Amino acid sequence: MTDTSGPGTDDAERFALLTERHRRELQVHCYRMLANYEDARDLTQETFLRAWNKRGSFRGHASLRTWLYRIATNACLDFLDRRTDLPVDLPHLQPYPDHLLPEDPQDSVVARETIELAFIVAVQHLPPRQRAVFILRDVLGWPASKAADSLDLTVASVTSALQRARVTMRGRLPARRLDWRTPATHELSDDERGVLKSYIGAHERNDLDGLAALLRADLRFAMLPDPGTTVTTARDAVDGWLAGGLFQPGHDDWRGIPTTANRMPAAALYLRTPADPEYRLFAVAALHVVDGRIAELTGFDATDKPWLGLPSTL
């Protein structure tokens, strides 16, 4: 792909044909690095821009895919160097729409456990370069020498960073979720489908007691982008919903549709208020179900986010 003359239309078309096939997997890679769909989309585009500008340096010593991953990883690291916010409560966390995942998750290394929100959140607590090492080595399965070359590190530095990252990840992930290399599954379990149906039904009936009955006592709940909503018990979550008036007049006319996000069961929740005759998309709630109860519930503001692929009104 060495360029010996000025760029022309044929060059651009050939470049797009060669690189575009990797867009979805690169975007997932950037999402793991950044935990934000919109940032991941922008950094993927930045990756292609950098690749186009550097196309003359590609000599074929590594595969095109490896070369693009190297550029994407370093673009994300540059972005993280400029970002000053801390990972606590992750107000920038966004869901990842399943319809934009690679079509073949096995070939693209998009295992269910490495796109779920608990994993994504845990990864964000790693320092950026340690995060990159961990993703390249333990998620993508790259050898230490390949990761070291991509990050301009020594193999010894990569090995040390990976050891530290694994300790942090095991400390951050719930005890029941220690294996992040579980093979991908495409279908929700019967438990997940049943709990999701009940969760939506409780909203539509304005049944706070029924909703509370679906929650594990040790529930972890967050409603983003508000970082102050993270709680660790079901009782606290219910008290918060009551205090916020979500099941009070004006916030008691719900409809919901089942969907998925981050390869997890999710409810798209629509709210109709007295001042508006239509049900409008209000939030997406991603659920992690354990033994028939909701163990983790992460709600996201879904307004003005067409990339979720959901109808704006019902």
pTM over 0.75: yes
pLDDT digits (tens, 9 = 90+) for 30-73: 999 999 999 999 999 999 999 999 887 777 667 889 999 999 99
Nearest 10 degrees: Cα torsion 100, 103, 106, 111: 20
The mean per-residue pLDDT over the stretch 186-193 comes to 86
| Residue from 293, 291, 285 nearest 265 by CA | 285
Query: What's the rounded Cα separation, in Å, for the pair 145 and 185?
Result: 31
For 40, 99, 112, 126, 263, the CA distances from 34, given in Å and listed in that order, are: 7, 19, 18, 11, 18
Cβ atoms 215, 197 nearer than 8 A: no
pLDDT at 174: 67
Query: What's the rounded Cα separation, in Å, for the pair 276 and 116?
Result: 35
For 113, 129, 179, 211, the CA distances from 182, given in Å and listed in that order, are: 6, 24, 6, 30
pLDDT digits (tens, 9 = 90+) for 88-133: 567 789 999 999 998 765 554 556 778 989 899 999 999 999 999 9
Q: Which CATH architecture has domain 190-308?
A: Roll (3.10)
Token pair in block for residue 268: 């798209």
More confident residue, 225 or 20: 20
**What percentage of residues in the chain have a pLDDT greater than 90?**
59
More confident residue, 173 or 6: 173
The domains spanning 9-177 and 190-308 adopt the same CATH topology:
no
Q: Which CATH architecture has domain 9-177?
A: Up-down Bundle (1.20)
Residues 6+ apart with CB under 8 A from 32: 114, 115, 120, 123, 135, 139
Phi-psi label, residue 291: left if phi above 0, alpha if psi -120 to 50, beta otherwise? left
Q: What is the mean pLDDT of the chain?
A: 86
Q: Is 49 helix (H, G, I), strand (E, B) or coil?
A: helix
Q: Give the residue extent of every domain in the chain.
A: 9-177, 190-308
